[in-house]
Structure 1
């Protein structure tokens, strides 16, 4: 695989976590502070902050400081187009993705498959 796929791999990896995806979906409806996200998602502030930082580092969300608070929003509206396309694809494929032995809903939570993919990428270089 060529290095040209690396940005796409990073994009999809940044969206592969359920919490980050929930944050993106929430921000599609308007900006929010970490405190708002904590209340809506029912998660610890440190967890939400870490996921928001990841999305910010990937340039998927931006922060707008206002006094001592930061209001986060989606950096690019195209992200919602991508998610809408993903929903269309999921509707067309039915349960195929959910049944995937590596990444489906019943897949093991360890990173053995991710490590194997990373090892094969490194050996191809």
Structure 2
């Protein structure tokens, strides 16, 4: 489902281990690179070479994240000759992300990266900022 930062591969064991599909979905979106790819694909289909150039990422990084998004059925591709054109499969994803932006705006962006460095979110009371 989501790329395990330690193993570097997509893990589908989350659901098998009892994690709900909703948690697995949000886990798959809990990576800035994947969110950047999704945002780019919301504007239209793109090849890996387009994504690497536009996002300033290595081809292997883009391919790895696209594979994860494909495993989650959020992205797919169509082949044209030797090229693959990637696109979003679920336009509802953009509604979800727009709702998340509205929630962040309404809470004053109270959800920030945990200052301890493990990357998990921490919810702070309104008006407080993380160190």
Instruction: Answer yes or no: same fold by TM over 0.5.
Output: yes
Q: Which runs of structure 1 show a deviation greater than 2 angstroms over 4 or more consecutive aligned residues?
A: none
For this pair of structures, how many residues does the alignment match? 104
Structure 1 unaligned residues grouped into runs of 5+: 99-103, 112-125
C-alpha distance in 1 between matches for 2:24 and 2:67: 15
Matched, 1:94 2:108: yes
Q: Which residue of 1 aligns with 2:129?
A: none
- 113, 118, 131: which is aligned to 1:109? 118
Distance across 2 between alignment mates of 1:105 and 1:38: 28
* Alignment match, 2:124: none
Q: CA deviation at 1:96?
A: 1.1
- 2:57 pairs, out of 43, 64, 69, with 43
RMSD over equivalenced CA pairs, Å: 1.9
Structure holding more strand per residue:
2
Structure with the higher helix share, 1 or 2 = 1
Q: Which runs of 5 or more residues in structure 2 are unaligned?
A: 1-16, 121-131
Does residue 67 (structure 1) correspond to residue 84 (structure 2)? The answer is: no
What is the TM-score of this pair, normalised by structure 1? 0.77
TM-score w.r.t. length of structure 2 = 0.74
